[in-house]
Amino acid sequence: MDLELTKMTAKGQITLPVAIRKSLGLKTGDKVGFISDSGGIRVVNVSSLSFDRLAAHAGDKADHAKKEAPV
């Protein structure tokens, strides 16, 4: 497990570290989702997920995800 740090601005914005963006396969304009469950918070590349896969994430079925990075 690697620790990546970032700082939140006064507007609540953060910059995702390069390593996280690469691991999620994020490109400019992609949508990012944050899923909170009993295991913590996951960051997912919503642009790479179908609706069914996104619903599976929301239902705690993370094994259906194409790309995800634990936070």
40-61: pLDDT as tens digits? 998 989 887 766 666 666 664 4
10-36 pLDDT tens trace: 999 999 999 999 999 999 999 999 989
Q: What is the pTM of this model?
A: 0.64
Would residue 43 count as lying in a domain? yes
Would residue 9 count as lying in a domain? no
Would residue 11 count as lying in a domain? no
Nearest to 19 by CA among 35, 1, 4: 4
For residues 36 and 1, the model is more confident at 36
Return the pLDDT at 39.
87
What is the extent of the structural domain holding 33?
A: 18-70
Between CA 55 and CA 49 the distance in angstroms is 9
Total domains in the chain come to 1
